[in-house]
Amino acid sequence: MSPKEYEYNEKIHAAIINPYLSKYDFDANCELIRKFNIRNISTTLLYLRDLKEYFYNFKVNLKTYISYPLSDLPNDYVNDLIMHAKDLGANEIEYSPKFFLLSKNDDDSFALDIENISSSDLPVTLIFNKQRLEEKYFKRAIEISLELGIDNFQFGDGFGAKPSFIDIKEIPKLINRNHLLKIVGGIKNLDQVNQLLDAGVNCVGSSNFYNIFKEINSN
């Protein structure tokens, strides 16, 4: 498929999560997002207020990670962080569920964890790292999420192995084409982006968005 057939500014989500960014680097990232008209940013609470202020007159969707990547926050604390994120300008939440509960055969508590995050009035994307989960727990997590009405799924978290192309072809069969599928991890060039989009992935997340858009604009 020709690169020009994809709306890359919608399909490629800029990730601003590096806790060691200097103010200079942060501003440079923001300038590039504006330059390339990137419409989606995945970030942490650390940068959310500054991003909101920088893009006050620019249409951009701010997605905020909660309980990422350790899936270790109590539900009451998660609720407080969601309220805080909303106050700072978040439009969506990207959340790492408590997969450990599934290994304890505690499906009910896992479901409650997802229901809790879904009870906010912000759209929610659940984050899965298939390479770190036993197959039976991975499939059960998907089943429960779908039963609870989750529409958006991210596979890969930027830590450890990234989703394989075999997985990427199989995952849509589990969540079906009506749900959003986002892939994250090790995406550094335009060829990787095109392969994923050609395979049916809806969008990708990358902190290497500058190099990718540099390629796009050189074609």
| pLDDT one-digit tens code per residue, 113-139 | 999 999 888 999 999 998 888 999 999
User: What's the pLDDT band for 4 if we cut at 50, 70, 90?
Assistant: very low
In the predicted structure, residue 5 carries a pLDDT above the cut 80: no
Annotated domain spans of the chain: 3-218
> pTM score, two decimals?
0.93
Mean pLDDT over residues 131-159, rounded?
A: 93
Q: What is the DSSP string of 191-202?
A: HHHHHHHHTT--
Q: How far is CA 98 from CA 20, 64, 119, 132, in A?
A: 27, 17, 16, 13
Confidence of residue 3 (pLDDT cuts 50, 70, 90): very low
What CATH fold (topology level) applies to the domain 3-218?
TIM Barrel (3.20.20)
Mean per-residue pLDDT over the chain, rounded: 92
Residue 69 · residue 42 · CB < 8 Å: no
Question: Cis before residue 97, ω within 30 degrees of 0?
Answer: no
Q: How far apart are CA 129 and CA 51, in angstroms?
A: 27
pLDDT higher at 168 or 154: 154
Residue 67 per-residue DSSP state: S
pLDDT tens digits, one per residue of 10-64? 999 999 999 999 999 999 999 999 999 999 999 999 999 999 999 999 999 999 9
Beta bridge partner(s), residue 62:
41
**Residue % of the chain over a pLDDT of 70:** 97
**27-31, 67-71, 82-86, 146-150, range with the lowest pLDDT:** 67-71
DSSP percent split of the chain into helix, strand, coil, nearest 5: 50, 15, 35
Look at residue 2 in the predicted model and tell me its pLDDT.
43
Nearest to 68 by CA among 44, 102, 100: 44
The rounded distance, in Å, linking the Cα atoms of 103 and 28 is: 43
Using DSSP bridges, classify how beta strands 203-206 and 12-16 pair: parallel, antiparallel or unpaired. parallel
What is the percent of the chain where pLDDT is above 90? 78
Residue ranges in 8-103 assigned as alpha helix (H): 8-11, 23-35, 45-54, 75-88, 100-103
Cα–Cα distance for residue pair 87/48, rounded to 1 Å: 10
